[in-house]
Amino acid sequence: MDPSSDCPVEFDRKEILTFAKDHWKNGHRWNGRQIKNSFQTALALAEWDHLKFNKDAFETPLLERTHFEKVAEASAHFDYYLKQVRSSDEARAKALEIRADEADVREMHTSSSRVKTLEMARATASRY
């Protein structure tokens, strides 16, 4: 445990960082909210293990890689579940008319420029 820290848990910094690097290398990406939630859940698992296996109340919980692995596994199962019960983000966005991923932005820009050019030409012609 870092003596300068007020954190009431022991952990091996290198072990946790190794998990994070391995998790990243395996293609898993967590956003800030997911990272925060994974730490909170892993800490809860460490506290549970501490209560279950240690009768000495003066010892601090040990946060281990295995706690993060359990969180990552649960997160992957949840992501899989969501993909099974929902359509893709692209399909939902299109159905709700939020965005059209297949739209050609160059065509939209060209069409928009033509409209602006015609409007400017009409405005100029109406002054004369």
Give the tens place of pLDDT for each residue, 24-60.
999 889 989 999 999 999 999 998 988 888 776 677 8
Strand partners for 11: 63
Dist. CA 91–CA 114, nearest whole Å: 30
For position 128, what pLDDT does the model report? 55
Q: For the residues 98-108, what does the mean pLDDT come to?
A: 66
Residue showing tokens 């939630």: 37
Whether the model clears a pTM of 0.85, i.e. scores above it, the answer is no
pLDDT tens figures, 1-30: 445 545 588 899 999 999 999 999 998 899
With a pLDDT cut of 70, the percent of the chain lying above it is 71
Task: Return the axis-axis angle of helices 32-53 and 65-85, rounded to nearest 10°.
Answer: 130
Structural tokens at position 50? 């501490």
Summarised one tens digit per residue, pLDDT across range 59-92 is: 788 899 999 999 999 999 998 888 877 767 777 7
